[in-house]
Amino acid sequence: MAQHSDSLQQHPGKASPVVSLGTEQQLSTEQAWQLVSRWMGSLELDALIQAFGESARQYFDCAGVTYQPPESGEVLEHGELAEHQAQYRLTVKGESLGCMTLHASRPFSSADLAVAEQCIGLLVTPLRNALKYEAALQEARTDPLTQLLNRSTMEQSLCRELGLARRHGEEFCVVSVDLDDFKTVNDAFGHAAGDEVLRDLAKLLRRCARESDLIYRTGGDEFLIALSHTSLVGARLLAERLRRAVDRHEFHYNGEELPVYVSIGVTALGDGDTVDSVLQRADEALYEAKRAGRNQVAFW
């Protein structure tokens, strides 16, 4: 497959020459068409990388592949991560498609690399489609203002998380967060100021939570954190750390300091709980924190 203006950067060992895809055609037209047809049916990145890895083993010496999407810390793996590697940074007309690394138990031969580069060249269009599909899914799952997960995503993912906790006999907690007197901020300083507060609060939530925790914006000024592998004691500690972080943080808009505090409710998964019952109990704990004078943490 001729690459034209598309390119990738190869890093076998310490060398990093820029090479063109398909400089030595090794696959027949029929084989290339079969590969592209198979890969075009995979819109999910994980499935596509798995299909690529399975195909790679058929045509050249490849123990496994890893792929890191652009602007993402997540690395997808398929097969074995062997000693010898050839790494490719993929770009198409200036657009980054991420980084693909091939693994083998012995050094790659020039023939292996020629076929590998042709296969990666054939992967470009299916990969771009999968990245666009992933971006569309992410947009549908994400609150546009805070970039946190949205409410429509919450119920489905909480069902999955509760199921996993029960299956493995693990502890699971939910933390409900609500801004105190947020209407006062909007009324006194305007909705642009309120939006700035919500963005800043989202950053504080990410900073206080663990990377594995799921954080949702569930309403205008309401947030929820799902904590897997966490006891009620651990969840209360995180909630108090978050409350103090908000209490100490200086929220500003147009040079004016804004009065921002949060009330937090905490609950743990119990026997017979459903998503609805856990959420209801977290809300009850949150209301108890409000009744206790706001800027409080309560558990139920």
Separation of CA 80 from chain center: 23
Task: Please choose, from the candidates 63, 69, 67, 60, the residue with its C-alpha nearest in 3D space to the C-alpha of residue 119.
Answer: 60
Quote the CA–CA distance of 9 and 18 in Å, as a whole number: 5
Catalytic site residue from 200, 213, 221, 273: 221
- Residue 110 CB coordination number (10 Å): 7
Kindly give the residue spans of alpha helices, DSSP state H, lying in the chain: 29-40, 45-59, 110-141, 151-168, 182-189, 191-208, 232-248, 275-291
If you search the block for the tokens 């507060």, which residue do you land on? Answer: 197
Tally of CA atoms within 13 A in the half-sphere of 286 that contains its CB? 20
> Does 273 participate in catalysis according to the annotation?
no
Known catalytic residues are 221
